[in-house]
Structure 1
Amino acid sequence: MTEKKIFILDDDKDILDSMRMVLEFKGYKIDTSANPENLNSISEKAPDLLLIDLWMSGVDGSDICRQLKDNVQTKHIPVVIISANVNIKELSHNCKADGYLSKPFEIDELLSTVQQYTRDA
């Protein structure tokens, strides 16, 4: 199995650090950012999966997801929206996300979701 690359975008440093620690322990290569502007070079980073928080300070994760899915260079990258919003299923569908993960989530839920979207075809 090739090492899968995951990019996590969340404005909560504790969440970023926790997810990084868990996923790196499982063998994933992790890149994190609390700054959505770092997504400008996402096609160069070529992640196998994007995990994006829905609501960050001054930024709407669904807008970011929609932009990525409308871009020819990034639309193939699976995007999973992360949020505590009760309407997360509908919101993730509306922004063309491939899936969602409800906060708070268990480690097993995170790992299962990541495996689902990084599994080799």
Structure 2
Amino acid sequence: MIADDDPGILDAVEAMLEFGGYEVSSTSNGATVLEMQDHFPDLLLLDIWMSGTDGRDVCKKLKEQENTRNMPIIMISASTELEKSAKEAGADDFLEKPFDMEELLTKIEYFLSK
């Protein structure tokens, strides 16, 4: 699942991942993931700054819940200065925008193979 409020990033990453054989869902609101009752994604690509939602808060809440604690979360941001706070929120990894799609695919493959 991809949570980002930038439609360009949602479209591009979703298309690339689907081309790579992944089943992808997306949302422009990170809080959507918190509202899910079941059928959580195998991995979450989560933007830090979204309108109305701080991805770090979403990440913290997901990592506190028993049913989502082990879901890998890769946080993304245009600011490298936020990498430390992303990790402090419980993110498993971090990518700076704009990111290389090959690097993203490598990270996704790594976390899904664990």
| Normalised-by-shorter TM-score class | over 0.9
Identity of aligned residues (%): 38
What is the Cα-based RMSD across aligned positions, in Å? 1.2
In 2, Cα distance between the equivalents of 1:107 and 1:16? 13
The structural deviation recorded for 1:46 is: 2.5
The yes-or-no answer on 1:111 pairing with 2:105 is yes
Moved over 6 A (4+): none
Shift of 1:98: 0.6
Equivalence for 1:98 = 92
Unpaired stretches in structure 2, ≥5 consecutive residues: none
Structure with more of its chain in strand, by fraction = 1
Paired position in structure 2 for 1:29: 23
Asked if the contact 2:14/2:26 (under 8 Å) is kept, the reply is yes
Whole-Å Cα distance in 1 between the matches of residues 106 and 39 of structure 2?
A: 23
Report deviation, 1:84. 1.2
Contact 1:88/1:100 (<8 A) preserved:
no
What TM-score do you get using the length of structure 2 for normalisation?
0.92
1:59 is matched with 53
- What TM-score do the two structures reach when normalised by structure 1? 0.87
Q: State the distance in 1 between where 2:92 and 2:56 align.
A: 12
Report the residue type matching 2:50 in the other structure. M
> Aligned partners of 1:118 and 1:88: how far apart in 2?
24
> Please, which of 80, 84, 97 is the counterpart of residue 86 of structure 1?
80
The number of aligned residues is 113
1:88–1:116 Cα change, 3 Å: farther
Taking the aligned partners of 1:65 and 1:37, their CA distance within structure 2 comes to 10
